[in-house]
Amino acid sequence: MFNPIDPDARENQPDTHGLLKSMLCYLVIFSVAYCCFMVNRGNPANLFWDENYHVTSAERYLEGIAHFEPHPPLGLMLIAAGESLSGTNKSIDKHALAATKQINGDAMPKNFDYTGMRLMPSLFAVLGSLAFYGLMYQLFRHRLHALLLSGLYLFENAFTVHFRAVHLDSFQMFFSIAFLWHFVSLWQRTVPIRVWQYASLASLAALAIMVKVNAVVLLVLFPVLYFKDAGTIGSRSITQWIRDFATKSGAAIAAILLVFYAVFYVHAALTPHLPDAESSAGKQDLANMSVEYHRYLEQHLPLTPGIVITIAHDYFKFMDKDHLGVPKLDTKKVGENGSHPMHWPFHDRNINYRWDSADGKTAYVQLVGNQLSWYSATLAVVFCMATILNYRLFALPLRCSLRTYQLIEVFTGLYVAFMGLHLWLITQRVMYLYHYFLGLMISYVLLSLVWQYLAEVYEKFARNRTLILACVMSAYLGSYLFFLPFSNHTPLTKAECERRNISISHIVDCH
């Protein structure tokens, strides 16, 4: 096995300019992310995909109307906060949004400005890029390499088109990446992990779950972390081990419950008014409210912890009921946009969110991923699984460092858990390609670890790993720019559109 020497020895020496270098890297990431996610977020100036649901939810928060939604409240409250902070639509009447659970584009208020509703999703997409850089630096302790690897997040077309819309995924992605960053920092400790650190890690997982519940898969890393943590603790009696486990697991559970409570407390405090019994949304919400919740809204009961718990219970009951009403995947149905989780790594069934034609050209809003990085990450997952099988099943000696192998094993396990969860979910309801985003991000971490693996195993690769990484990221950038018109709603002729149907999966039906 070859152990490479860091080509930039200064990374491992005391660096008086380290803070300045880090700030410069974050500034570069922020600037690129701002262009990818904040610029052009108002285009198209029309609803697409789930925006017709989420704008109505956000408006109910702005008007203080109590309601239930298919997703937990956190992401929807953040969308409303962005609209409120921007003030872009303060001069128009938006009450029609609050009266329904879903609104068509034709029913939108005249002159509605979408940049306010899209502000927070876009901002959290930028914050997610900064967190991804932090995760890469935590893994490899090399600023330039972390900066280059951040291109996996920045130059992902699917993130560009989906994260700067009125969708929830950028919020979940930020909290999930922050969780993994914190997890890796704790994993790398050689001393016992403290109770408050378990609690802080659990809080990040809870925040991700409070955006979309499939982030519950992150919780599988807690027993993994504790097993690693136990190895740093000296000899103890069984009683001491039980007490240590109970204390740390109890702190994590308490932190999760506290975050859940805080989110629902804010949700209740922001929506103290009864729904309109004459509106379609109001009828649906009132039918699912308990007597205690109804009495609170009528100001007969104060907002006590018991009421907050009751509201949370009603909310989760509504989510479960709404979940049962979602149709299942039907691949034989004409125009079916849903796809099977086993097909997601191969970019199956990307979605045409919207297209607008004029003057012989068509502008698309297409959920299309960066083809080069997407398939590279899929190959990385296969490589990591083969590496684990070789070591665990066939007892072949490790060629890379134990540290790198352990991280490969941890993130491959998380990826498998993610896919397992969604293989169960697909039996319950239809799912779409963007449900793979968290799994895609995990596969990008695995792709980065494969690059580290190759540097540790092959001397020639190690000597040129920075150049190799720069070339690969340049190719990913080229692929990103090639498909960017589909992310940016840029008008294309039919010939220009057809030239982009060159990948393994069909990209778009050109008009």
486-511 mean pLDDT: 86
The span from the CA of 442 to the CA of 448, in Å, is 10
Q: Which amino acid is at 372?
A: L
Across 113-145, b (16+ Cβ under 10 Å) vs e yields bbbbbbbbbbbbbbbbbbbbbbbbbbbbebbbb
Residue 490 has pLDDT above 60, yes or no: yes
Residue 3 has pLDDT above 50, yes or no: no
H-helix or E-strand spanning residue 358:
strand 351-358
Q: What angle do CA 153, 158, 163 make, to 5 degrees?
A: 80
Report which of 185, 173, 492, 507 is spatially closest to residue 362, judged by C-alpha positions. 492
Alpha helices per DSSP H over 325-436: 371-392, 402-425
Highest mean pLDDT among 257-266, 326-335, 341-350: 257-266
Distances (CA, A) of 248 to 114, 224, 243, 422, 511: 44, 13, 9, 29, 58
Q: What angle do CA 483, 489, 493 make, to 5 degrees?
A: 75
Residue with tokens 């009266």: 99
Q: Which amino acid is at 233?
A: I
CB 37 within 8 A of CB 164: yes
pLDDT at position 16: 64
Q: What is the pLDDT of residues 103-124, one digit of tens each?
A: 988 889 998 999 999 999 999 9
Q: What is the pLDDT of residues 114-173, one digit of tens each?
A: 999 999 999 999 999 999 999 999 999 999 999 999 999 999 999 999 999 999 999 999
Q: What is the pLDDT of residues 415-455, one digit of tens each?
A: 999 999 999 999 888 889 999 999 999 999 999 999 999 99
Full 3-state SS string of 466-501: HHHHHHHHHHHHHHHHHHHHHHHCCEECHHHHHCCC
Q: What is the pLDDT of residues 227-274, one digit of tens each?
A: 888 877 767 778 888 888 899 999 999 999 999 999 999 999 999 999
